[in-house]
Amino acid sequence: MKRTWILVLTLLLAIGLAADPALAQPKVLKVSNGVNEQHPSYLGGKKFGEILAAKLPGKYDVQVYANAQLGDDVRATEGVRMGTLEMVTTSASPLTGLVPEFNVFDLPFIVTSEKAADAIYDGSIGAKLGAALEPKGIKLLAYYENGFRQLTNSVREVKAPADMKGLKIRTMQNPIHLEAFRAMGANPTPMPFSEVFTALQQKTIDGQENPIPTIWLSKFYEVQKFVSLTGHVYGPHIVLINKKLFDSFPAEDQKIIAAAAQESAIYQRNLNRKMNSDFVAELKKAGNTVSELTPEQKKAFQDAVAPVYATWEPKIGKALMDEFKATVEKAK
Ligand code: TK8
């Protein structure tokens, strides 16, 4: 009899403990990144985790992974959609298959300044694109920036589309990038980011294009000689979470998580912008030839890619493209 009572009491105690939220295990949120541990996007994820830990102690454990350890952009984004991975920070490319409007970010030369990018991200376009992902099972938490993409190669200085002739350039896995680089005269090859360094080193490709922080932090300068400040695309790094998981959190937590992500985005963009200017000098010191383009030289690249706009307008939608351009224009 006494034994039975002890058993009952122990059971009740165990149930009570399990139900006590203060003693529950924190919910692990793994965040996949293709870039390495020095990159602002990885550091932005860390910041997000710190803010969350301070606001909701013991409830969420944000674990940020680098170097595509959890998969490249395409695979990790698929994981977040399916619910096999909690979070990813990705370029826009893998999202274009789900919501074609995301192609708008990859139109060459559409974003002209960081201020314009902020106006897109934090304004109605950013919100609309985020909402369009929700029926696909993905919740967009924040826009980090990847930044202005610059061309690097190991063959020759590039200052005009004619200089690109025949260069084998790795692009992201997105048809717009392929078309744009073909239009500029190059020979583009799509490939996941994690394979780029080795491909450059083994010379299976001549060049690649990425923002300055990535070119420096991924040590591409060790296997590249020429950097052209083409700024042909301004890319976001988009922070995503599985929607079903997000919806399962208490409403109050959802608000705090969204605010923490946005706060980390402001930190991330500032850091990225600082690195963007600091690392040009480092690249020169490391022996790279960094070529700035005059407005006329830049115009030649813009003219070369003009046909891409015509092809993509029906797929992206004229209304969105017009709103995008107007937002950029107004932010100038
Ligand atoms: C990292 C990528 C990378 C992007 C690319 O996962 O693929 O070139 O610029 O930053 O998102």
Tens-place pLDDT, residues 59-94: 999 999 999 999 999 999 999 999 999 999 999 999
Q: Is 205 helix (H, G, I), strand (E, B) or coil?
A: coil
Residue range 21-330, CATH number? 3.40.190.170
Is pLDDT above 90 for 189? Answer: yes
Do 250 and 186 form a contact (C-beta atoms < 8 A)? no
Q: Does any ligand 1 atom lie closer than 6 A to the CB of residue 171?
A: no
Ligand 1 atom 11: residue of nearest CA: 91
Q: Helix 318-331 and helix 295-316: axis angle, to 10°? A: 140
pLDDT at 24: 82
Q: What integer pLDDT is reported at residue 283 of this predicted model?
A: 98
Residue 21 has pLDDT above 70, yes or no: no
How many angstroms is it from 218 CA to the middle of ligand 1? 11
Cα–ligand 1 centroid distance for 3 (angstroms): 62
Nearest CA to ligand 1 atom 6: 34
Rg, the chain, Cα only: 23
Which atom of ligand 1 sits closest to the CA of residue 73? Answer: 6
Q: What is the pLDDT of residue 9?
A: 61
Which of 65, 73, 178, 194 to mutate for ligand 1's pocket (most ligand atoms within 8 Å of CB)? 73
Give the pLDDT band of residue 213 (cuts 50, 70, 90): very high
Nearest to 142 by CA among 75, 88, 194, 183: 88
Q: What is the pTM of this model?
A: 0.93
* Pair of tokens at residue 132: 């369009």
Average pLDDT over residues 242-264: 98
Name the band, by pLDDT with cuts 50, 70 and 90, for residue 332: confident
> Ligand 1 pocket, 206 CB below 6 A?
no
Q: Are 42 and 64 within 8 A, CB to CB?
A: yes
- State the distance from the centre of ligand 1 to the C-alpha of 91, rounded, in angstroms: 6
Structure tokens at 331: 């932010």
